[in-house]
Structure 1
């Protein structure tokens, strides 16, 4: 009997759907079905009633008996993971690529200077994978633009930063960029947060499609440095990209949105003692960034 099998069983029981459970666990439907089949084979009985035409699946009598035992197993596993985390000098932090590339390195450096004995593990996760890792006790805190997809995870706003316009040093844009002079065909587009594409459509037109779309910061820098290419990026990314590169920051005659960053962590698990210390280091970096803009 495996941890993944029990995890799959509980997810299906809670979602009452194999498809939805697969989405919660960030795996394909065939994988969760195989996990369930292997568990049922080991137990010698089916755990769910499968009826064609029914949108929700229900527990069999065996499933009803097994469910509280699976909950006990889940709780015990969480307690063991918490015990290991508390006594081991380790902190696991997850962040989006854009946060991890420019904000976290300085925060991590400050943290390691203060706590050289702590093993710091940095992960690059989207929100679904981050939530799964938090629930499994493998990630202590995660930074994301989205909220948690589980009521077992707390979502707390950490900071909000303005977006800025960047372009290459040899581009023909003035220090104040006028909306009408911009061609979306020259834009290097990143879908920074939920709602950014909607703002973009209202600002530049719903039929305006950028020629280049990227997700990785190194790719953004490569294309943004091309003459007359441009991008709209969060302030921390703009500052990081422009240092020692052929890029510059310009003001705009149109209003740019802001990006909110949230901190995600487990609701019922005792928080890693070093998590708050890491947050202090991050806040120092944010304060320095704010001061540099004045």
Structure 2
């Protein structure tokens, strides 16, 4: 087996298409087919079912079983390359959602860099579902997500959960400590889908014919676009704390609250040996970091940046 054959097979697994694999790897379709056949000859069993007229590639049972071995083979190859570079510093690749990076873990990253001068960080922001794929291919060493998905080689561990509240400007349209969603105007909402459970809850309580004033996928963008006094948002505690550093907020509980948002740590069942020490540094620092509780708010009052310093 060689690198090109394994890479070609794993790309076929992801694309389920010979032509799409050829496009992604900048190869001709006959070259892709030759590599696949060569790998099958070396293994002594077929990896794909060859049905004429079918555009989508289907794996044989042994082909499905071979995916795990192929992924480990690629991982070992990447580790070998890293060892050859003989770097004196450690590199940790962290994958995280945007809101977690900005509102929760930025201080942790800062402390890690201060405490471990030999540690370099590669921090990537992606959606939770994308992070599982990146971790499965060893493109990140550890992930922090808001979705619990089931992947064969990924271990998921719950870290914490946080409640969501209503936030308005310092001159709120609904100045109450407790508010029902029926009292809110959907046309002035600032919306970010925090996780699947929140999306389901939101779809239930807000009419499908109405739409938010602004929908985005980063809290930084929503903060920059929050210009109107009548705008409001439903957000988790960590995000509220982050936004309140820059603007006064009127915080209310919801009479029909959304489910709490749960954060998970994900790691590969077969981690890279080259990142072992860096991951250990991170997990120890993470454990200590999470001992500090989230801030508590007084509902029905304005929470100002001065109070949050």
What is the TM-score with the length of structure 1 in the denominator? 0.78
Does structure 1 conserve the Cα–Cα contact (< 8 Å) formed by 2:198 and 2:258?
A: no
Which residue in 2 is equivalent to 1:7? 7
Correspondence list, 1:7-156, <5 A: 7-10=7-10, 12=12, 21-22=14-15, 31-34=20-23, 35=25, 37=29, 38-41=31-34, 48=48, 49-52=50-53, 57=58, 74-82=71-79, 84=82, 89-148=90-149, 150-156=151-157
Q: Give, in whole Å, the separation in 2 of the partners of 1:172 and 1:143.
A: 35
The residue matched to 1:202 in structure 2 has which SS? helix
What is the TM-score with the length of structure 2 in the denominator? 0.75
Q: Give, in whole Å, the separation in 1 of the partners of 2:202 and 2:171.
A: 25
Post-superposition offset of 1:184: 0.9
The residue matched to 1:116 in structure 2 has which SS? coil
Q: Give, in whole Å, the separation in 2 of the partners of 1:29 and 1:124.
A: 30
Q: Give, in whole Å, the separation in 2 of the partners of 1:109 and 1:223.
A: 27
Which residue in 2 is equivalent to 1:18? none
Post-superposition offset of 1:5: 5.6
Moved more, 75-84 or 236-245: 75-84
Does structure 1 conserve the Cα–Cα contact (< 8 Å) formed by 2:92 and 2:121?
A: yes
- 1:148-168: per-residue Cα shift (whole Å, max 9, x none)? 453111122111111121111
In structure 2, the CA distance between the partners of 1:2 and 1:168, relative to structure 1 (3 Å rule), is farther
Q: Give, in whole Å, the separation in 2 of the partners of 1:226 and 1:253.
A: 24
Which residue in 1 is equivalent to 2:179? 178
Does structure 1 conserve the Cα–Cα contact (< 8 Å) formed by 2:237 and 2:294?
A: no
In structure 2, the CA distance between the partners of 1:126 and 1:7, relative to structure 1 (3 Å rule), is farther
In structure 2, the CA distance between the partners of 1:202 and 1:131, relative to structure 1 (3 Å rule), is closer
Q: Give, in whole Å, the separation in 2 of the partners of 1:172 and 1:44.
A: 67
Q: Give, in whole Å, the separation in 2 of the partners of 1:172 and 1:74.
A: 54
The residue matched to 1:245 in structure 2 has which SS? coil
Residue 210 in structure 1 maps to residue 212 in structure 2: yes
Q: Give, in whole Å, the separation in 2 of the partners of 1:282 and 1:145.
A: 16
Residue ranges of structure 1 left out of the alignment (5+ in a row): 16-20
Q: Give, in whole Å, the separation in 2 of the partners of 1:276 and 1:92.
A: 13
In structure 2, the CA distance between the partners of 1:129 and 1:119, relative to structure 1 (3 Å rule), is same
Q: In the alignment, which of 161, 181, 195 is matched to residue 197 of structure 2? A: 195
Residue 279 in structure 1 maps to residue 273 in structure 2: no
Post-superposition offset of 1:238: 0.7
- 1:11-68: per-residue Cα shift (whole Å, max 9, x none)? 64xx6xxxxx328xxxx98532544833224577797413336976356xxx98xx96
Post-superposition offset of 1:216: 1.3
